């Protein structure tokens, strides 16, 4: 008898499963994502600014989870370590949901020296979140010759999505 009940109940379970999945999926929040096309637009605008100013650099664009989408090293990039720094700055900005320079300021001002213990992050200027519909969907990280240039290039890249 038990065997028959299991066989009879099996089609009911399978029949109900898709409906249950649809109900649960409909109640989950959604968020915009940074597409490859949008990441290319950000990187392209940043590269154009760097080229126009004569500031060769490394540019990295990551998604909202800090995972890489684009890494570009311009010819004659000023800082060889930029290949590691730019993606780290982008990842930091994406995961902290703020500019990496804010974290650098917190350390340097003495207001939040504990930030320096955040292992695996680059707490230097040049990482800027990419925000769409009030949500961080990614970030850009730049490593050029100076921190100020890094920020200018990165902010130019993020501004490209609002045009």
**CA–CA separation, 92 and 5 (whole Å):** 55
Which helix (H) or strand (E) element contains residue 112? none
Tokens, residue 10: 């099996």
pLDDT of residue 66: 98
Residue 136 backbone phi and psi in degrees, to 5: -75, 120
Architecture field, domain 36-162: 2-Layer Sandwich (3.30)
More confident residue, 95 or 22: 95
Residue 8 backbone phi and psi in degrees, to 5: -70, -35
The pLDDT of residue 127 is above 60:
yes
More confident residue, 90 or 7: 90
The DSSP code for 116 is G
pTM: 0.82
pLDDT digits (tens, 9 = 90+) for 140-161: 999 999 999 999 999 999 999 9
Phi-psi domain of 157 (left: phi exceeds 0; alpha: psi -120 through 50; beta: other): alpha
**CA–CA separation, 71 and 137 (whole Å):** 17
pLDDT digits (tens, 9 = 90+) for 1-37: 344 444 444 454 445 555 555 556 678 888 899 999 9
Q: What ranges do the domains of the chain cover?
A: 36-162
* Residues in Cβ contact with 108 at an 8 Å cutoff, skipping those fewer than 6 apart: none
Q: Where are the beta strands (DSSP E) in 34-134?
A: 58-63, 68-73, 127-132
């Amino acid at each position: 008898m038990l065997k028959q009940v299991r066989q009879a109940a099996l089609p009911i379970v399978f029949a109900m499963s898709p409906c249950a999945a649809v109900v649960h999926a409909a109640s989950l929040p959604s968020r915009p994502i940074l597409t490859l096309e949008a990441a290319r637009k950000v990187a392209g605008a940043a590269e154009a600014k760097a080229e126009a100013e004569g500031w060769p650099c490394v540019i990295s664009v990551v998604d909202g989870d800090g995972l890489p989408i684009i890494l570009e090293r311009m010819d004659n990039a000023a800082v060889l370590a930029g290949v590691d720094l730019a993606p780290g700055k982008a990842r930091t900005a994406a995961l902290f949901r703020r500019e990496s320079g804010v974290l650098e300021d917190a350390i340097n001002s003495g207001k939040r020296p504990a930030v320096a213990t955040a292992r695996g992050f680059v707490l230097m200027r040049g990482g800027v979140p990419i925000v769409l519909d009030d949500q961080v969907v990614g970030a850009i990280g730049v490593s050029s010759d100076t921190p100020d240039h890094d920020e200018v290039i990165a902010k130019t890249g993020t501004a490209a999505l609002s045009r």
